[in-house]
Structures are given as structure tokens and as C-alpha cells.
Amino acid sequence: MIHLKISNIDEINDWYTDEIVKIVKKNATISIIPHDHPFVIKLDNWLTDYDNVRQLISVPVDILRERYDVIEEYCRIIELFTEGMLYERRIRSIKSNRNNKAKYLEKRTEYIEDHISELLIIYEKLNTVKQEAKISDAKQSWKNFENMLKDAKKYIDYSKLFIENHISWAWLDKDSYLKGELVSRLNIKVCPYCNRQYIQSITKYGNKKYLGDIDHIQPKSDFPLFALSFYNLIPACKPCNQLFKRDKKLKILNPYLEGFDDAAILELRYASVKELIGEKPVSDLRWTLSGPQRALSEEQKNLIKNNIELFGLNEVYKSDVDEFQYVQKKKYLLESRSLHLSVKKIMAKLVHWYLGDKMYYGVSLDSDMFQNEILSKAIYDIVKYN
Ligand SMILES: [Zn+2]
């Protein structure tokens, strides 16, 4: 949700890429390529050129996809395949509908018609079997359709094994010095996904301990090719990484490149006047899209909604509602426009002018500081927009 602002990011990326290319040169092994596997041969050729490996490590995935056909092809295959796996789950739910035979058959046909062309693209890329035969086979029999998926999985699993010869997360994961050094150079103090947990490095008994995790924004289980790519490695808190995100397929904002900014804000929802004036605790809050700030594309809206959903932001922020209500009270005190300002209000203004936002509200109200201050984005929204 937070757009990370790291002033020397290019310098860190260069250093990291140099280190990783050294590791790749040391560890990469030659793959045994089956002669009838055109896509794997293409990817293999691409990966044996270290200039390409540098690009793979240092450049964001979306740009790589535009720049290299082979990367675009790879991503599309994996995307279609992971979609295929989700379809399989749907297949099972359709199957459980079997007692209503007519409905089951109707849904099954509809389903195959909808998805067969997409699945065939996987085939086109991965093997050389005649496509026409496959289409008619799969349309005729449900079993054939399921076999197609199983077959596709075989190829994807094969490509994973092959990629691990060139790129492996284990190489960085076991290098605790390099991993720790990357995290401390990035110097991000608060989880960019939730803005609610500290993730900085601390030193104990002379050893650096990193309080967070490194998340692969494109899960390494699906996209092992990007397991070491700089822009794919997001320092994040353990709850966000291990409880919420895990290997989920939802596409979300990449905090190195974009955040909610003013397009999604935290809103306190008041059920009564008493809640509004602080006599009763606020009953609800919501992260919502804030229209007037800028016109959002459907894709951006979806990415933001996915972030809110995936990290359970509406749920986890509920436990901070007292804090937010307190901020709201301070704001009310400061902004009251009564002709007869009470001594309290004058004092509040004086105190605020004297101390500034950080002392008054507890955070700087500066979007450049979101990555260093817990709950800062939410408090900023309450002061600015609620
Ligand atoms: Zn988090």
C-alpha cells in the first residue's frame, strides 16, 4: 500500500545485481535440453548470456516483458497455467454437482468452451503436438480435458527444474550476509504492505537480525525465473508474508513502483453523532477508493482492491480504531472555527504550531516518511480527508 521512496535505489540495485551475477556465474549449471522443446531451448539460450541475466536481476518484470519476447512468453505461459489450476478447482466444484446431471453437463460444456483456447496457448508454447486434434479431443471428453491440464503441469514442472539450474532463491537465502546487507541498505523500517509492523534490522550480540521477511511479489513457486530479481523482492512483515500473502495468485501493487497514494484512503465510519464527537468508540472503518484525486484505470482499481483484500487491511486496522479516533479529536480541536475560541483550543493551536505535526499527531504527515512511521498513511488520511 505504501510507495517506497528510496533515494539511492539505483545504486543499491547496481550493487545487488553485481553480487547476484557473481553468484549465478558460480552456481549455474548446464541444462540437458530435450530436442523437441523449442521454448525451453529459447529460454536457455537467453539465460546463458550474462548481460541478459543482469537485466533479469535489475529490471522490473513489466519492463522485461516489453523488452524480451522470451520473458513475455514465459509470463504468459505461467499465468495461463496458474489460471488453469484455478479452473481445475472449479472443475471439482462442478463435479460435485453431479446429482443434477443436466446442469452439470451444461456447465461442463460452457466451461470447456470458455477456456479451451487459453489452455491451448500453453500447448502451443510448450510442445509440438497437433493442436486441432487436442481441441476436438478435449471438447469431446471431460477426461481428455483434465488430461490436458495434467500434461501442461508436467511441462511447467519441467521448466521449473530447468530454471533452477540458472536461477535459484536458495543461493541468496543461504547467504545470510548478502540478504542482511540488502535489507539494511534498503533501510525500510515499516512493512510496505500493511504500514503496521516494524521490519528494520537490529544488532544483537554483534549479529544483525532482520525482523521481517523478504516477500516475492511474483511468488517464486509460480515464477522461479524472478526468484532473485531485485524489484521482485519486497521487505515485508511476517504476518503479511506468512499469514496473508503466502503463494496467493492475486496481482497487487509493487511498492517499489507505486502505492495507494491518494487513490485509496482510510475512512472512519460513524454510526451516530456520539461516535463522531468521540463520546462513543467508532464502530467501523474502511479502506476505500477515493475518486476525485485522479482518474483510475480499471486495472489500478483492481490492484488496490486486491491489496486491501489480500492483506486483510479492513480487518487488521480495526484494532487501531481508538488511536484513529484520538487523532480525529486532536484534529477537531485544532480546526474548530468558533468565534469564541476556548483556552483549550488556543492552547492546542499554540502547541501544534510550536511542536509540528510529528509531536502533535505522532507522525510527520509526509508521504516520504510513510515507510518509516507505523500507521502513518492511515493517520495522514484521517487528518487530510476524514
Ligand atoms: Zn505487513
Nearest partner of 218 among 78, 371, 40, 364, judged by Cα: 78
Q: How far does residue 199's CA lie from ligand 1's centre (Å)?
A: 9
3-state secondary structure of 221: coil
Q: Where are the beta strands (DSSP E) in 128-229?
A: 201-204, 207-210, 213-216
Which of 32-36, 66-70, 272-276 comes out lowest in average pLDDT? 32-36
Q: How far does residue 198's CA lie from ligand 1's centre (Å)?
A: 8
The DSSP bridge partners found for residue 265 are: 288
pLDDT at res. 249: 80
**What is the residue-averaged pLDDT of the chain?**
85
3-state secondary structure of 286: strand
d(CA 71, CA 73): 5
Structure-block grid coordinates of residue 38? 523449442
Q: How far does residue 72's CA lie from ligand 1's centre (Å)?
A: 30
Q: Each residue of 213-270: pLDDT tens digit?
A: 999 999 999 999 999 999 999 999 999 999 999 888 889 999 999 999 889 999 999 8
Q: How far does residue 201's CA lie from ligand 1's centre (Å)?
A: 15
Query: Which pLDDT band holds residue 310 (cuts at 50, 70, 90)?
Result: very high
- What does the buried/exposed string (b/e) look like for 203-235 if buried means 16 or more CB atoms within 10 Å of the residue's CB? eeeeeeebbbbbbbbbbbebbbbbbbbbbbbbb
Query: Which pLDDT band holds residue 116 (cuts at 50, 70, 90)?
Result: low
Write the CB contacts of 373 (distance below 8 Å, at least 6 apart in sequence). 189, 190, 363, 364
pLDDT at res. 56: 98
Nearest partner of 270 among 377, 382, 374, 384, judged by Cα: 382
More confident residue, 297 or 373: 373
From residue 271, alpha-carbon distances to 63, 288, 323 in Å are 46, 17, 18
Q: How far does residue 292's CA lie from ligand 1's centre (Å)?
A: 28
Q: How far does residue 244's CA lie from ligand 1's centre (Å)?
A: 9
Residue 339 CB-density burial (10 A; 0-12 exposed, 13-18 middle, 19+ buried): exposed
Q: How far does residue 193's CA lie from ligand 1's centre (Å)?
A: 5
How many of the other CB atoms lie within 10 Å of CB of 1? 26
Q: How far does residue 197's CA lie from ligand 1's centre (Å)?
A: 6
Q: How far does residue 94's CA lie from ligand 1's centre (Å)?
A: 36
270, 271, 276, 282 alpha-carbon torsion, rounded to 10°: -70
Q: How far does residue 149's CA lie from ligand 1's centre (Å)?
A: 35
User: Dihedrals φ, ψ of 218, to 5°?
Assistant: -95, 110
d(CA 377, CA 327): 13
Q: How far does residue 89's CA lie from ligand 1's centre (Å)?
A: 29
Q: How far does residue 212's CA lie from ligand 1's centre (Å)?
A: 9
Structure-block grid coordinates of residue 57? 536481476
Which of 142-146, 185-189, 252-256 comes out lowest in average pLDDT? 142-146
Q: Which helix (H) or strand (E) holds 287?
A: strand 284-289
Residue 139 confidence (pLDDT) above 70: no
Q: How far does residue 311's CA lie from ligand 1's centre (Å)?
A: 8
Q: How far does residue 367's CA lie from ligand 1's centre (Å)?
A: 17
Structure-block grid coordinates of residue 22? 557473481
More confident residue, 324 or 203: 324
pLDDT at res. 360: 86
Q: How far does residue 376's CA lie from ligand 1's centre (Å)?
A: 13
pLDDT at res. 131: 55
Mean pLDDT for the stretch of residues 301-308: 94
Q: How far does residue 57's CA lie from ligand 1's centre (Å)?
A: 24
From residue 336, alpha-carbon distances to 324, 364, 378 in Å are 18, 21, 22
Q: How far does residue 356's CA lie from ligand 1's centre (Å)?
A: 28
Q: How far does residue 245's CA lie from ligand 1's centre (Å)?
A: 10
Mean pLDDT for the stretch of residues 30-40: 68
Report the share of the chain in percent with pLDDT over 90. Answer: 46
d(CA 4, CA 2): 6
Q: How far does residue 86's CA lie from ligand 1's centre (Å)?
A: 26
Q: How far does residue 333's CA lie from ligand 1's centre (Å)?
A: 32
Which of 122-131, 219-228, 324-333 comes out lowest in average pLDDT? 122-131
Query: Which pLDDT band holds residue 128 (cuts at 50, 70, 90)?
Result: very low
Which of 198-202, 244-248, 280-284, 348-352 comes out lowest in average pLDDT? 348-352
Q: Each residue of 228-237: pLDDT tens digit?
A: 999 999 999 9
d(CA 52, CA 54): 5
Q: How far does residue 289's CA lie from ligand 1's centre (Å)?
A: 20
Q: How far does residue 200's CA lie from ligand 1's centre (Å)?
A: 12
